[in-house]
Chain A
Amino acid sequence: MHPPSDGGHFPPPPPPSSSEIRPILYTPRPIEPFADNYINAEAIAALEQAAAGEDALALTAEGLKFGMPALSAKHEQLQDRHHPVIHQFTRMLMRDGKLSKAQKHVSLILNYLRTSPPPKVSPLRPLVPGSPPPSQLPLNPLLYLTLAIDSVAPIVRIRSLKGMAGGGNALEVPEPIDARARRRQAIIWILDIVNKKRSTGSGRKQFAARFGQEIISVIEGRSAVWDRRQLLHKMGTAARANLSHPSLIGRKRK
């Protein structure tokens, strides 16, 4: 394993007697493994296989009952294993850092949606376009939840710029927000109502029942969340006039 100590490294110096320069023979240094590692052997075998024009991964799947698991892409993180709505929603339900409890609540909410009768969608409160017929919702509770949250999510946020309106008054300006922030606002509104609602049950399912009822009332257009959304949108429409406010335009020019 080890290179010979007798001068494999350094070719012997030319004898001083001869004056002409002879070409030094190149002796390749043997590879020095830092450990006896079977993975190296496997990797080398795989490389050889690839060099022979065959599938390099076919070798490693040998002995696996269900083949090699699909490798996750570079952007796929462990944290992304849940649906984005579920991920955000769970973390917003979480209190005192108890994620597992929040996850249990989310599961129970989804089960509540599974077991409640299909909602009757009101034409006055249109849902997000492209939503499936309500009869299909209970068996796809994740879609049900996402539809409710996305439907009541506001499309603008009103930003008040301090002192920009002159005389110390704040200038209210609407601005578009991204999907995650929209959902966040919707979940906050729904949670507000749910937390104020009086519980008529007890036990571990009662929060899920309250929340599930509110989700259903959102889909059916009965929820007070819709009024909050409407109010915000009205304010946004009114504040649209401020977009051409001199101080704002001046700021933009800078």
Chain B
Amino acid sequence: MASTNCWRCLARPAQRLLLAPISVTASAPTLAAFSTSAQQLARAADGGGTKHLRTGKRLLLGRKKRSPDKTKPPQAGERKAFRKRIQLSNDNALEVPGLEVLSAENAVNPDSVGKVFGVPAEVIDQLRACEAFKSSQNWNLFRSPHLLVRKETVDLATQMTNAIEKKETLRLVVTGNRGSGKSILGLQALATGFLNKWVVINVPEGQELTTAATEYSTIPNSKMFSQPVYTVKLMQTMHQTNQSILSQHKVELDHMHLPISVTRNMTLTALLNATKEPDFAWPVFEAFWKELLLPGRPPILFSLDGLAHIMRISQYRSPAFELIHSHDLALIRMFTDALGGKTAFANGAAILGVTAKGNAPIIPSMEKAIAHAVAAQNGEAVPARDPFFRKYDERVFDSLRGVKVLDVQGVSKTEARALMEYWAASGILRSRIDEKEVSEKWTMAGGGVVAEMERVAFYDLRATS
């Protein structure tokens, strides 16, 4: 039994009696049996029933008057575009005269170690199209992109060129500490590929494929999944970057099963550009891949940055709501088969997996597999697996079986000097570059770790200048 006193104010029953009695009508909405708020609100809205003594007087605490923001809100996608913007030139920076331009010969020449090279304009466009430049790198400080050719660059370029000349497949993983220049080395490898007229396929971020950020769908008669939107984007990029090479080759196989008509007089460029329909993307890409593997085609450079992200369970779900292993995504399977040596390349290929340290999950299987590969490369005893760890992933070991490993560490002092002289000549680093300065920055950067050198040079706030 409810109390006769009003429970929301201190009105006496006598006062309350003066008001009209509450009439409970049958028409009152009875949605929630135990909630009175909806009914009370409804009553207050239509004005019927009794009004509370304090109707309309609400105690407002802590509400400030806020003037509406009159500035225009950012457009859809504008904020992300700001974050992802790649700026490759700075008109304020000085132009550095007398630097050579990178070429296919330079890249494999041991004499070019420790020199800074410019990048040809068409290669810049190609690299930009395949997203080799990253927004976290300091390209925006300089007049035009230049690259330091270091020992590892020549090593990698030589390995790739030699393997492709012999029509073999180089399968290589680039490892190294954080900020040591792995992604830049990947970029240099891509530049080498473009300069040598290879077909370059680049997956700029492995995590874009596995974090459930792009659409996916099942592939009929298969346990794998395709990522149609990403595949369309990849095909468009390849069309843009490899047009001059692929337009010289024509389709040689019959692709009867394809949803689009493919004729024999079509070039491979046209095949890449044949569809922008996500539903048809994967079959067309698969057909393109088959064509590319035929003898007589140009060599392939297939590169992926952020290797650890594709070596684990992805965040996609199967129709049974189970998490999908990354290697069950068809595009990634294509890469891991190539990296693990399951795909035969008739024309020579270089398959590069570039690891990341800043943003990378720790994958014990991958680390162990790379340790195995390093031991095999150095002719040492293979390190044993941890017997008490049961989550080793065999598929990861398969995908990294027999790969070569290129460990990237800090640059040497000669290379560091070349780099710092380039920075100073660009007007970005305001200090005299002598042996002492180079030695100081090299030491401060943990033995020439390039990102740390940039940090002590570009992000320095000292009052030296």
With A200-B79, A202-B82 already in contact, the answer to whether A83 and B459 are too (CB < 8 A) is no
**A44-68 at interface with B (beta carbon < 8 Å):** 65-66
A90 at the interface (CB under 8 A from B): yes
The residue that A86 contacts in the complex, of B94, B435, B463, with Cβ under 8 A, is B463
Q: For the complex, is A107 an interface residue (Cβ under 8 Å from B)?
A: yes
Chain A proximity mask over B299-315: 1 for CB below 8 Å, otherwise 0: 00000000000000000
Contact B82 A139 (CB under 8 A): no
Q: Smallest distance from the beta carbon of A237 to chain B beta carbons, Å?
A: 31
Give the complex CA separation of A116 and B141 in angstroms.
10
Contact check, A114 vs B463: say whether CB atoms are below 8 A apart.
no
Residues of chain B within 8 A of A209, CB atoms compared: 82
Q: Report the separation of the CA atoms of residues A198 and B463 in the bound assembly, to the nearest whole angstrom.
A: 32
Report B75 CB to chain A, min CB distance, Å. 9
Instruction: Mark each residue of chain B from 77 to 90: 1 if its CB lies under 8 Å from any CB of chain A, else 0.
Output: 01110110001001
Residues of B within 8 A of A160 (CB): none
Q: When each residue 429-465 of chain B gets 1 if its CB lies under 8 Å from chain A and 0 otherwise, what string results?
A: 0100001100100000000000000000011111101
Q: Interface code A141-179, partner B: CB below 8 Å = 1, 0 otherwise?
A: 010000000000000000000000000000000000000
A107–B454 Cα gap in the complex (Å)?
Answer: 12
Q: Is the CB of A201 within 8 A of B430?
A: no
Q: Indicate which residue in B73, B94, B463 contacts A83 across the interface (CB closer than 8 Å).
A: B463
Are B436 and A66 in contact, with the CB atoms below 8 A? yes
Chain B 57-106 interface residues, beta-carbon cutoff 8 Å to A: 69, 71, 73-74, 78-80, 82-83, 87, 90-94
Pair A202/B79 contact, Cβ less than 8 Å:
yes
A205 to B459, CA, bound (A): 13
Q: Which residues of chain B are near A140, meaning CB under 8 Å?
A: 430, 465
The yes or no answer to A14 lying at the interface (CB within 8 A) is: no
A81 touches B73 (CB 8 A): no
Question: Are the C-beta atoms of B463 and A201 separated by less than 8 Å?
Answer: no
Q: Are A206 and B463 in contact (CB under 8 A)?
A: no
- Bitwise interface map of B from 346 to 386 toward A, beta carbon under 8 Å scored 1, else 0: 00000000000000000000000000000000000000000
A103 at the interface (CB under 8 A from B): yes
Distance A114 CA – B92 CA, assembled complex (angstroms)? 7
CB distance from B341 to the nearest CB of A (A): 39
CB–CB B141/A104 < 8 A: no
Partner pick for B141 among A82, A111, A203, CB 8 A cutoff = A111
CA distance A203 to B92 in the complex (A): 24
Give chain A interface residues in 100-142, CB to chain B under 8 Å: 103-104, 106-107, 110-111, 114-118, 138-140, 142
Contacts of B461 in A (CB 8 A): 82-83, 86, 90, 103, 106-107, 110
Within 8 A of B (CB), among A66-86: 66, 81-84, 86
Give the residue of B91, B94, B141 whose beta carbon is less than 8 angstroms from that of A117.
Answer: B91
121-143 of chain B: CB within 8 A of chain A: 138, 140-141
Nearest CB of chain A from residue B303's CB, rounded to whole Å:
25
Quick one: given A198-B69, A200-B74, A202-B83, are A114 and B462 in contact (CB under 8 Å)? no
Asked whether, in the complex, the Cβ of B92 is within 8 Å of the Cβ of A82, the reply is no
Give every chain B residue within 8 A of A81 (Cβ-Cβ). Answer: 462-463
Q: Most chain-A Cβ atoms within 10 A of its Cβ — which of B78, B82, B94? A: B82
Is B427 at the interface (CB under 8 A from chain A)?
Answer: yes
CA distance A106 to B73 in the complex (A): 26
Please state if A201 and B83 are interface contacts (CB–CB under 8 Å): yes
Expressed in whole angstroms, the Cα–Cα distance for A190 and B435 within the complex equals 41
How far does the alpha carbon of A201 sit from the alpha carbon of B458 in the complex, in Å?
23
- Residues B87 and A115 in contact, CB atoms below 8 Å apart: yes
Q: How far is the CB of A132 from chain B (nearest CB, A)?
A: 13
Chain A residue numbers with a CB within 8 Å of B436 are: 66
B19 CB, nearest partner CB in chain A, Å? 49
A86 to B460, CA, bound (A): 11
Q: Return the CB mask of B234-249 against A: 1 if under 8 Å, else 0.
A: 0000000000000000
B94 closest partner in A (C-beta)? A139
Shortest CB-to-CB span from B16 to chain A, Å, is 50
Could you tell me if A139 and B92 are in contact, using CB atoms closer than 8 angstroms?
yes
Report whether B465 and A107 are in contact in the complex, using a CB–CB cutoff of 8 Å: no
A114, B141: Cβ atoms under 8 Å?
A: yes
**A115 touching B141, Cβ below 8 Å:** yes
Knowing A66-B436, A202-B82, the reply to whether A115 touches B92 (Cβ < 8 A) is yes
How many Å lie between the Cα of A116 and that of B91 in the bound state?
Answer: 8
Q: Which 9 A-B pairs have the closest CB atoms?
A: A201-B82, A83-B463, A203-B83, A107-B459, A138-B92, A202-B79, A200-B74, A139-B427, A66-B436
Knowing that A81-B463, A139-B427, A198-B74 touch, tell me 18 more A-B residue pairs with CB under 8 angstroms.
A86-B463, A90-B461, A104-B459, A110-B461, A111-B138, A114-B93, A114-B428, A115-B140, A115-B141, A140-B465, A142-B463, A197-B71, A199-B79, A200-B78, A202-B80, A202-B82, A202-B83, A209-B82
> Can you give 27 contacting A-B residue pairs, CB < 8 Å?
A66-B435, A83-B461, A83-B462, A84-B463, A86-B461, A103-B461, A106-B461, A110-B461, A111-B138, A111-B140, A111-B141, A111-B459, A115-B87, A115-B92, A115-B141, A138-B92, A139-B93, A139-B94, A139-B427, A139-B428, A199-B74, A199-B79, A201-B83, A202-B80, A202-B82, A203-B82, A205-B83
